[in-house]
Amino acid sequence: MKLLLIGGGGREHALAWRLSHDPRVHQILAVPGNPGIAQLAQCLPAPKEIEGYAHLAEAERVDLTVVGPEATLVAGIADVFAARGLPIVGPRRKAAQLEGSKIFAKRFFERAGIPTARSHQEAGYQAALDALNRFAYPLVIKADGLAAGKGVTIASNAAEAKEAVMKLGPALVIEEFLEGEEVSFIGISNGSEVFPLAASQDHKRVGDGDRGPNTGGMGAYCDGRILTPAQEADIVDRVMLPAISQMAREGTPFTGFLYAGLMMTADGPKVLEFNVRLGDPETQALLHRMRAGFLELLEFSAGLITTPAARLRAEYSPEPSVCVVLAAGGYPEHPRTGDAITGIDDAENLGATAFHAGTKLAGQRLVTAGGRVLGVTASGADLGGAIEAAYAAAGRIHFDGMHYRRDIGAKGLKRWS
């Protein structure tokens, strides 16, 4: 098969890496890709208009297109492809609103009966300020639109809450603060059925011990023990299937990856957010562990095969995997760029894979070009071994200003010790 992969971050490098190991894949085109992806795929510049991707898929006789980032989906790439009969993994524009608008998502959870935090949704400063009185502190305030994980404030008192409303408003969700273990749960759907992938855990705050500002994700791990089989079945029944069924009922069937950011509360799983794509850096850990079956899942989602979800299979290594994100100086506020990166070969010689995210070539030199620079990913006989392997490899890499969390996977270690 010839694949077209859209995106140029760590998630897309992991996709290219996993798919390039499939004997049925003979070529991957990546738009725009990155220097890591370029070792596995032919990278092409991004077209100015979304139609350009469809022209490319037609001209290159691509068998299947896979979209990484949400912005391209929210902009409607899947609609353009569908109109031309081009197979694609990813939801159409209307279904992508599940991620594009938090207000839309909260109202959708209500219609579908999906468990979530009690909330107020309103477009308007005064209504939002009034609503603050109906919640206990801490409470959570979220900007409505896409904000790359940075549009959320947890306010511990009225002054902080008012400030956040003025900063993030006027289109806002205000909701109760939920306590529990946060889990990333991703399923892949063909519009009527859903196939669950292994659960993983992200680390959203920039600093150790979950301190400091939110980021796109500073590291993730994937370990078969994150959820019990009963918890996984419960999430499929109470979250994934209701979402897919409700989308179909509303005439906007959801295809592609449905990512539920969940809080595992004392009352069971509750949805914090839906994303309409794979997580980053969850994908790096997840696909590092997956051994077989991924291409069939993509074909299922795009309608290229009609195998029922119950007959699909994804095989995972029993070994847990850990992805440590190496971030640029100044990330997340003001990431610096242009710093020379060294040591990737050394790191990979230790058995890890360094997925590129914010890198670029300046002549012959690899330099930083974004906030999250590399996702150093490794597995081990147990979670402790995977953590050690990922950090040993990360320690071989250098660029000025580099920083990373030292506690990726540590919560899991503590839970299972």
List residues binding ligand GLY (CB under 6 A). 149, 202, 217, 275, 279-280, 282
Name which of 175 and 202 has its Cβ closer to ligand GLY. Answer: 202
Distance CA(60)–CA(52), nearest Å, equals: 12
Contacts of 344 (CB under 8 A, 6+ apart): 354, 366, 374, 397
Instruction: Please state the closest distance from residue 175 (CB atom) to ligand AMP, in A.
Output: 5
Residue 177 interacting partner from ligand AMP, ligand GLY, none (CB closer than 5 to 8 Å by kind): ligand AMP
Using omega within 30 degrees of 0 as the cis cutoff, is the peptide bond preceding 281 cis? yes
CB atoms within 10 A of CB 303: 14
Instruction: Please state the closest distance from residue 113 (CB atom) to ligand GLY, in A.
Output: 24
Quote the Cα angle for 74-76-79, to 5°.
140
Residue 5 CB-half CA count within 13 A: 30
How many residues sit close enough to ligand AMP to count as binding (CB under 6 A)? 14
Closest to 52 in 3D by CA, of 27, 28, 32, 38: 32
Beta carbons of 114 and 269 less than 8 angstroms apart: no
Distance CA(118)–CA(110), nearest Å, equals: 10
Instruction: Please state the closest distance from residue 325 (CB atom) to ligand GLY, in A.
Output: 10
Name which of 140 and 278 has its Cβ closer to ligand AMP. Answer: 140
164 binds ligand AMP (CB under 6 A): no
For the chain, the C-alpha Rg in angstroms (whole number) is 21
Distance CA(283)–CA(261), nearest Å, equals: 14
Name which of 109 and 257 has its Cβ closer to ligand GLY. Answer: 257
Name which of 70 and 299 has its Cβ closer to ligand AMP. Answer: 70
Beta bridge partners of 261: 184, 273
Q: Which residue is nearest to ligand GLY (CB)?
A: 217
Two structure tokens written together for 249: 């009922």
Name which of 151 and 256 has its Cβ closer to ligand AMP. Answer: 151
Range 19-48, binding ligand AMP (CB under 6 A)? none
Taking residues 174 to 213 in sequence order and writing x for each that binds ligand AMP by CB under 6 A, - otherwise, the string is -x-xx---x---------------------x---------
Distance CA(226)–CA(230), nearest Å, equals: 12
Q: Which stretch binds ligand AMP (CB under 6 A): 58-66, 172-180, 372-380, 396-404?
A: 172-180
Q: Which stretch binds ligand AMP (CB under 6 A): 173-181, 247-255, 318-326, 354-362?
A: 173-181
Range 94-153, binding ligand AMP (CB under 6 A)? 117, 140, 142, 149, 152
Residue 296 interacting partner from ligand AMP, ligand GLY, none (CB closer than 5 to 8 Å by kind): none
Residue 175 interacting partner from ligand GLY, ligand AMP, none (CB closer than 5 to 8 Å by kind): ligand AMP
- Residue 248, φ and ψ in degrees, nearest 5: -65, -45
Residue 282 interacting partner from ligand AMP, ligand GLY, none (CB closer than 5 to 8 Å by kind): ligand GLY
Pairing mode, strands 268-275 and 211-214: unpaired
Helix (H) or strand (E) holding 155: strand 152-155
Instruction: Please state the closest distance from residue 117 (CB atom) to ligand AMP, in A.
Output: 4
Name which of 127 and 146 has its Cβ closer to ligand GLY. Answer: 146
Instruction: Please state the closest distance from residue 102 (CB atom) to ligand AMP, in A.
Output: 7
Beta carbons of 68 and 14 less than 8 angstroms apart: no
Beta carbons of 41 and 6 less than 8 angstroms apart: no
Binding site for ligand AMP (CB under 6 A): 117, 140, 142, 149, 152, 175, 177-178, 182, 204, 214, 261, 272-273
